[in-house]
Amino acid sequence: MRNVNILNKRLQSSARRKSSIPPGRDAVHIIVIALVIFAAGWTLAYGGNFADASYSVAQTTDGGYIVTRYTYSCGTGESDVYLVKTDAASNESSNEAVFSMRSDSAELLYTPDSPSSSQNPAFSTTGDTIIFTLFDEGYNCGPAALYLMCPGEEPFLLLEDYDVDNVNLPGACWNGVVDKITFASDREDIDEIWTINSDGSAPFRVTHHLPPNYFTEPSFSPDGEWIVFEETQDTTEEEEYNSIWKIRADGTELTRLTNGPAGGTDDRQPNWSPIGDRILFQRHIPGSDNWDIFTMAPDGSDIQQVTTDPSSDTDASWSPDGLWIVHSTDYGALEHPSIFVISAAGGTPIRITNDPNSEDGAPSWSPDGNWIVFESHIASDEDSPSALWRIRTPDLSIEEGAKSSTFEIKTFPNPFNSSVAITAPAGAEVEIYDLRGTLRLRSVPDTPRSLSEVETTDNRTFIWTPDQTMASGIYLVKATTKDGGTAEKKVMLVR
């Protein structure tokens, strides 16, 4: 997802792009007899710009037809199978996806009718509903409306305005504390930040600014008091030096967090962490394809780089515990982006989706941590419409355990708000670091503010009760044995 409002305006100000057929795919469409057999007229009933075909058509008792078909014109564009029901005049009464094949076991949630494109999925805080943006005329090509969907059910309209772009950001666009959704909209001629109630009522304009720049890509702080967003310059993609701002949800205290023009960077798509201590965003040097993910404190200080490899790391949002970041990337010189997760402290990305025919982006994590929802479209055509998918989250504790060569650190409870028990092998020393890599305390007895030890027989257990100088956030526990073995584990303190 790349600055959808602005791209939309640029596309609309130029000639509509021409459709193209992927190499080796002829434009085959489904033709249905319009009247009765031997009728004089044939009607193009179904099909888009790519190959669509049917090998089975049967007449139903009501005089209509039932058709099975596969399509490259909608869905992910790769062997999607549909069941179509028509009346006697070939008017479609239903058109449902039977299944869609992917090599990574991702599950199809929704495919809009071509040329519409469903993008930017994000969960409600209860996890039972998904919000997304539906672009009417193709990928990033509006007008655009906001829709809600419960998995397994048809979407329903939340907000639509004539010839207007209403666009949400994946991640923290829906806040359960205030029961509001934040989005960008040009409903009053220029892109501003807005909020609405989760039932679509009470639209409220949060920002008021003068052209030519745009305010887009908003997300809430966990308490619903603040909104962080992107200021997008009205210029060419290669010359954009965008910045990150925050504002109170009531429209007061507009504050700049990063200054793209002054720093020579292009900063985009901010998302607030679920515990409120960090804001992530993506950054690159204009003219470069090397995007990286960064985090910063809510006041714009302490900017830390998360991804470091030469790749396009974009569309980032947080795991519900704040320990991981999910994003879209071509890490490892992939031909097309897939969904990956990476520790919020950095490290090696872990691949989540793996389908060579698809380009995956705009991921969001479910509140229970079990699912990642994302948009996907045909890899061979980056402008093809997107469908919505979900995939189960792997057991990331296994990935963390891989850092230990000989043993495992155990913590309980985690997250915690008062004290946490840390168990390591007998004889091991324990150190605790913040995410900036600063040593905060250790188990050596003469160290100030050392951990308290509990007597055990087979291992070494410490009780850590952070004092008030330790803020809410993620901390790294590191244990080192006498023979040099090490293990690490993250814990989350929630005040």
Q: Which of 84-98, 229-243, 285-299 has the highest mean pLDDT?
A: 285-299
* Same-domain status, 323 and 340: yes
* Whether residue 187 sits in one domain with residue 47: no
Count other C-beta atoms under 10 Å from residue 28's C-beta: 14
Domain identity same for 89 and 228: no
Say whether both 82 and 165 belong to one domain.
no
Q: Using alpha carbons only, how large is the chain's radius of gyration in Å?
A: 25
Each residue of 362-372: pLDDT tens digit?
A: 999 999 999 99
Q: Could you tell me if residue 83 is inside a domain?
A: yes
| Residue 128: predicted pLDDT | 94
Q: Indicate whether 342 pLDDT > 90.
A: yes
417 domain-assigned: yes
In a domain, 165, yes or no: yes
Residue 249 has pLDDT above 90, yes or no: yes
User: Does 94 lie in the same domain as 140?
Assistant: no
Q: Are residues 45 and 131 in the same domain?
A: no
**What are the two backbone dihedrals, phi and then psi, of residue 383, each rounded to the nearest 5 degrees?**
-100, 5
The answer to whether 377 and 385 have CB atoms below 8 angstroms apart is: yes
**Total structural domains in the chain?**
3
One domain for residues 80 and 112: no
Which pLDDT score is estimated for 27?
42
Query: Is the predicted pLDDT of residue 32 greater than 70, yes or no?
Result: no
Determine if the pTM surpasses 0.75: no
Q: Quote the pLDDT of residue 15.
A: 30
Tens of pLDDT, residue by residue over 401-435, are 444 445 778 888 888 888 888 888 888 888 888 76
**Lowest-pLDDT range of 119-123, 434-438, 479-483:** 434-438
At which of 374, 395, 416 does a domain end? Answer: 395
Question: Which domain-ending residue is among 74, 99, 124?
Answer: 99
One domain for residues 154 and 277: yes
389 versus 429: the higher-pLDDT residue is: 389
In a domain, 2, yes or no: no
- Residue 1 domain-assigned? no
Question: Do 441 and 411 share a structural domain?
Answer: yes
Q: Are residues 137 and 11 in the same domain?
A: no
Q: Which residue has the higher pLDDT, 455 or 303?
A: 303
Domain boundaries, position 49 = 7-99
- Mean of pLDDT over the chain: 82
Confidence at residue 22, expressed as pLDDT on a 0 to 100 scale: 33
Q: How far is CA 257 from CA 231, 261, 297, 303, 329, in A?
A: 11, 13, 9, 10, 25
Evaluate if residue 162 carries a pLDDT over 60: yes
E strand or H helix at 13: helix 4-13
Same domain, 409 and 389: no
Quickly state the pLDDT bin for 40 (edges 50, 70, 90).
Answer: very low
CA of residue 142 relative to chain centroid, distance: 20
Mean pLDDT value of segment 344-362 = 92
Domain ends where: 99, 122, 138? Answer: 99
Region 265-278: mean pLDDT is 95
Mean pLDDT calculated for residue range 157-176: 96
Residue 48 lies in a domain: yes
Question: Rounded CA gap, 360 and 350, in Å?
Answer: 15
Residue 133 pLDDT > 90: yes
pLDDT of residue 312: 95
pLDDT tens for 71-129 read 655 544 444 555 666 777 767 666 555 445 577 889 999 999 989 999 999 999 999 99
What pLDDT was estimated at residue 494? 80
Which CATH number belongs to the domain containing residue 433 in this structure?
Answer: 2.60.40.1930
pLDDT mean over 456-471: 82
DSSP secondary structure letter of residue 395: -
Q: What is the pLDDT of residue 468?
A: 81
Answer whether residue 169 is part of any domain.
Answer: yes
Angle at the Cα of 124 from the Cα atoms of 98 and 342, rounded to 5 degrees: 85
Look at residue 60 and tell me whether its pLDDT is greater than 70.
Answer: yes
Beta strands in 379-445 (DSSP E): 387-392, 410-412, 420-425, 429-434, 439-442
Express as a percent the part of the chain with pLDDT over 90.
52
**Does any domain span residue 339?**
yes
Q: What is the CATH number of the domain that holds 175?
A: 2.120.10.30
Q: Look at residue 214 in the predicted model and tell me its pLDDT.
A: 94
Helix, strand, coil in percent for the chain, rounding step 5: 5, 45, 50
**368 and 427 both lie in a single domain:** no
Mean pLDDT, residues 272-299: 95
Cβ atoms within 10 Å of 484's Cβ, excluding its own: 8
pLDDT band at 452 (very low <50, low <70, confident <90, very high): confident
Cα 301 from Cα 295, distance rounded (Å) = 10
Check pLDDT > 80 for residue 222: yes
